[in-house]
Structure 1
């Protein structure tokens, strides 16, 4: 009996020591770990550049200055116009580019360690339309090298089994009397049956959102395939169609006077469902304006300012990054179709190219 009592007393004593040790350990851990405090008293102030009584939505520059106040904050995340910006200072400047007057929501998250605080506000901003790129083709000779580069060769059919060899020769691409002329010629050249040209602004100019337009007269002949289109700047890193493609104008001589506008993206390459057509009975005999107005919400396609197709854009598409401009004149291929055996040559004539913010 005595032995059992001693054992019981020893066990109880051990339990008391363990309890005291754990309590001390817990107390020490709490003291050593700093408390994480969420940012407090958060506010977001928006100053519109050029705002006056007469111009309450700004001077048309589309610029705003953001001032974030949040005690204890170490970093911030700003969601604005379908973009997310991560910053470490409380001052932030942003420029809207879509023309017109529009209301935008601004969401701000302030972080301190693992905790955060949210706040949101909105702003009405006016953006004046500005010309950010143009070529009026008013200097005779080769296209302006400060604005245009070339794709040359066959490009293994450029992914479409096309028949032409693209060159830099004046026989195929030249500016004359205020008009850019891209000429497709039936001739044996470097193993190809036809020659033509493809010029692009890659590495010289690209843009995100705005209006792109040309004034052009289209070529004739079965198998002709002129185009005016945009391609994503990140082509080399993500490939096609992940980079996105916006075809503002395509037309084929085998189906004359039908204007196609299309968009290509992952899962929607080749015969994309994102496409529409309109007719233009004088496309080969008169100059017409072919345009796209592109925003985070939509891409709208026009012929002579007549809207014929609206694509609903969203944050999940590739159409929210910078794109460059391409002008080309292909022959045959998957879209151009069979070339008329009597075809000799024809010319795609462009009066100007203009891009607005």
Structure 2
């Protein structure tokens, strides 16, 4: 049975620090909703069944991506309630999986959460992020679209990173981000979340706040979700990896803050 939802009041933390692991990283831990509101589930995928739901996800591939290839065969369900994004060596190339909700589910604001188990080998990295076409536009800062990296894990030392990118990917590109140490990161499942309001972004790991930012002016437009693996030197030397390796996702959930019901 999938994890039960719970609320946890959390405090602001510095930009780069060691974060104590939550007592129970297997439960979904919703942050307090904005004043006068309560959380309502807007969209979710628990990854049950035999194959990915095509009304929710596009499987990316087959095409070149950084130092590897996104290949459709590397994104699949394991039949036990999990999405698997696999990284492997296929002849003289390295391949991995990626999916997105573009054209299926695009949303602005709310709380976005993934629960996942991270890969163990070097040379590739998993990520949960939000994206839209407006990210490539220059001007109006990130209000017309920001790449929001809820979590990326290029290293295997217990460090995660969260980042924002706006004003395209050329000479006008701007970004902000942070790193967090999370003891026990490479063991078992962990949850990572984003509270996105019109005024700010607040990031969470295992139910605890890790970073808040208004960088780029905060995106005001709907964005789609992405779950990806990527191969490149940022993650280390892929030739040293014992493959295949897997990024395993238990669920993705999106909540809206709606007016609180009268008690």
Aligned partner of residue 355 in structure 1, secondary structure:
strand
Q: Deviations over 1:146-193 (max 9, x none)?
A: 1001221334x3xxxx22211221x543342011111100122xxx61
**Which of the pair has more CA radius of gyration?**
1
Residue 138 (1) aligns with residue 48 (2): yes
Aligned-residue offset at 1:256? 2.8
Aligned-residue offset at 1:281? 2.6
Residue 225 (1) aligns with residue 135 (2): no
Distance in 1 (CA, whole Å) between partners of 2:131 and 2:75 is 23
Query: Cα distance 1:172–1:312, how it changes in 2: closer, same or farther (>3 A)?
Result: closer
Match of 1:290 in 2: 192
Per the normalisation by structure 2, the TM-score is 0.75
Verify the 8 A CA contact 2:112 2:253 in the aligned structure 1: yes
Residue 100 (1) aligns with residue 34 (2): yes
1:197-276 aligned at under 5 Å gives the runs 197-234=97-134, 238=137, 243-253=145-155, 255-266=156-167, 273-276=175-178
Aligned partner of residue 146 in structure 1, secondary structure:
coil
More helix by share: 1
Q: Deviations over 1:216-263 (max 9, x none)?
A: 11001111210000002546x848x8732000010014x432110000
The higher-RCO structure (CA 8 Å, 6+ apart) is 2
Aligned partner of residue 130 in structure 1, secondary structure:
strand
Computed over aligned residues only, the root mean square deviation of the Cα atoms, in angstroms, reads 2.7
Per the normalisation by structure 1, the TM-score is 0.56
Query: Cα distance 1:201–1:273, how it changes in 2: closer, same or farther (>3 A)?
Result: closer
- Equivalent pairs, count: 221
Structure 2 residue runs without a partner (length 5+): 1-31, 257-263
Distance in 2 (CA, whole Å) between partners of 1:342 and 1:260 is 21
Task: Return 269-278 or 293-302, whichever deviates more.
Answer: 269-278
Match of 1:168 in 2: 72
Aligned-residue offset at 1:346? 0.6
Structure 1 residue runs without a partner (length 5+): 1-97, 102-125
Q: Deviations over 1:81-109 (max 9, x none)?
A: xxxxxxxxxxxxxxxxx9432xxxxxxxx
Verify the 8 A CA contact 1:248 1:301 in the aligned structure 2: yes
Distance in 2 (CA, whole Å) between partners of 1:330 and 1:129 is 32
